[in-house]
Amino acid sequence: MIVSKTTYRITDYSTVRGDLLGNIEIGFETYGRLNSTADNAILVCHPFPATSHVAGRYAADDPLPGFWDALIGPCKALDTQKYFVIGVDSLCNLNVRDGRTPVNGPTMPTRTGTPIGASYPEVEIRDFVEVQRRVLDHLGVARLHAVAGPSMGSMQAFEWAVAYPERVGRVIAALPLASCDPYTTAMIARWVRPIDTAIEQGRTDPTSLHAALIDSFDILALDAQGRGDLDRRFADAPQACLDTLRAEASSRAAMSDALTFKRLANCIGRFSLGYGLKPSAAFDRYQAPTLLAPAETDELFPPYLAEATAAELQRRGRPVKTISIPGDGGHRDGSGLSVGRIATEVKAFVEAAL
């Protein structure tokens, strides 16, 4: 499946906190076609390190497809012969140097050409939903058959169900997290710490910030990495393990930017379902039947947090089903090839008459 990214311009966007972002360009991708009754759209929200490139390849020789390609395409779990699948770039997207993702974050140029930097406002997961809503309106999608996504994508899916319950047919949340618990908040703060320390010490030159960014990706990588997978792949070669993690962190950092990382990480670190609402009031608004898919060895968003979310929904009589993504890859099992392990269950849930 060869795909491409489209840019949509939103005029005078103001954040949910009330800061004017002005005219912004948002990248999105679509797969399949919207049907005549416009009721076959599925929004797939991306995780922290990804973009709207949820499936397919830009060119036949791309080494990797979009992050949920294992679930999306003709005859796959989200069958693009039946469904119109949409991905939208988040604000503050990390991939500011991939040559495809329109930039909305601290690297955005001001009128004078210098980056806006720390003057870029704090954005919230709800802002990602609001931006997606504008893109869906543009595409003629009033109601979603489903909203889905892993990790940070699950946050957006949950937020959709609370913000616009009448527009969400069902939710598929992989690596789900409905609100950050203190431990997760601390883990995410730990990702940002190298950048924070550099800034506190006045080391804000590009070289220093880039070194800090590599350290940040390095910390993140281990949190997302399954212990068993790493121990298996690098048995008796711990130095190769360190080198591999470091090389991954460096290549991530090469596509990204320290201030953007800090903003996006802080955004997810303070996520609490239903912007401005107390957690119980947020869950009271939630209507959509929901499939929760934690990864069984995930230590970043561990399965017991999914159980707590399931309990909140069940208490309110909402249909909820939980399936576990098997594997030893930890949080990473929620994307790439691994997530294909739950394709049958996802397909059944998406196609069920509810």
Binders of a second copy among residues 267 to 286 (CB under 8 A) are 269-270
Q: Considering the complex, what minimum distance in angstroms separates the CB of residue 223 from a second copy?
A: 9
Among 215, 298, 312, 333, binds a second copy (CB under 8 A): 215
User: Length of the chain, please?
Assistant: 354
Q: Per CB under 8 A, does 326 bind a second copy?
A: no
Question: Which structure tokens are listed for 230?
Answer: 């790493």
Binders of a second copy among residues 224 to 243 (CB under 8 A) are 225, 227, 230-231, 233-235, 237-238, 241-242
Among 17, 140, 183, 348, binds a second copy (CB under 8 A): 183
Single-letter amino acid, residue 300: L
Instruction: For 235-279, give the DSSP string.
Output: TT-HHHHHHHHHHHHHHHHHT--HHHHHHHHHHHHT-BSSTTS-H
Nearer to a second copy, 51 or 184 (CB): 184
Binding segment toward a second copy, per CB under 8 A, in 17-25, 98-106, 201-209, 337-345: 201-209
Binders of a second copy among residues 300 to 319 (CB under 8 A) are 302
- Angstrom distance (rounded) from CA 126 to CA 15: 9
Collapsed DSSP state (helix, strand, coil) of residue 143:
coil
Binding segment toward a second copy, per CB under 8 A, in 3-11, 15-23, 188-196, 311-319: 188-196
Closest CA relative to residue 55, chosen from 150, 119, 125 = 150
Question: Which structure tokens are listed for 218?
Answer: 């390095």
Q: Pairing state of beta strands 6-14 and 20-31?
A: antiparallel
Check residue 305 and give left, alpha or beta (phi > 0: left; psi -120 to 50: alpha).
alpha
Q: Considering the complex, what minimum distance in angstroms separates the CB of residue 251 from a second copy?
A: 17
Q: List residues near a second copy by CB under 8 A.
A: 180-183, 185-187, 189-190, 193-194, 197, 200-201, 203, 208, 211-212, 215, 218-219, 222, 225, 227, 230-231, 233-235, 237-238, 241-242, 245, 269-270, 299, 302
